[in-house]
Chains A and B, each alone.
Chain A
């Protein structure tokens, strides 16, 4: 019982702002690493072919 009470006291001493800073740091580091990495996980590279409208033979591209 004393053990649980002590544990509760320790949990109450936790500073949410500091926890938030640690979580924000981890998230930012993860996102930044992903952005600059070859194999992106969260920001996938656009691997789909880009289709372009080509002008018809002998004609101008429609505006």
Chain B
């Protein structure tokens, strides 16, 4: 039982750092080319006015960066983990809608043009599943006090 518990704790830690690094990397890549990210967002043809899209262009990379760093540091886990899952789910929904509308675009997830839609959808789906699993795991805040 003890080994299982230790193994689970380690897998949570590794996954937390991995997901956090992916988010941080995505943020840095977007911040290096904000105009490119804005262009990628425009290609999604979302029903959002340009002014709103520009705000999202500035907001999303920083949110990803903050969430990524918070995930790595295990800061406010009861809030950060569901927020990461929510953001991944939002990406999946937007990519699914774009695929359903038959848009031939590149995601722009990691700066530049990004991956084709199908690849991006698979990647976002995987991240979403991993984030879901991470939400289910008890964090240090949920850990019960040790018995002597």
Can you report 20 residue pairs joining A to B where beta carbons are below 8 Å apart?
A7-B136, A15-B79, A22-B83, A23-B63, A25-B62, A26-B63, A27-B55, A29-B62, A29-B66, A30-B58, A30-B62, A31-B58, A33-B31, A34-B58, A41-B35, A41-B38, A41-B58, A42-B51, A42-B57, A42-B58
Show the binding face of A for B, using Cβ within 8 Å: 3, 6-7, 10-11, 13-15, 18-19, 22-23, 25-27, 29-31, 33-34, 37, 39, 41-42
Which 6 residue pairs across A and B have the least CB separation, nearest first?
A30-B58, A26-B62, A26-B63, A18-B79, A29-B62, A13-B78
Q: Chain B interface secondary structure, helix, strand, loop or mixed?
A: helix
Q: Which positions 54-94 of chain B face chain A at CB distance < 8 Å? A: 54-55, 57-59, 61-63, 65-67, 70, 76, 78-83
Which of A13, A27, A33 has the largest number of chain B CB atoms within 10 A? A13
- Say whether, besides A25-B66, A26-B62, A41-B38, A19 and B83 are in contact (CB < 8 Å): yes
Beta-carbon nearest neighbor of A20 in chain B: B79
Q: Is the CB of B63 within 8 A of A22?
A: yes
A residues near B65, Cβ cutoff 8 Å: 26
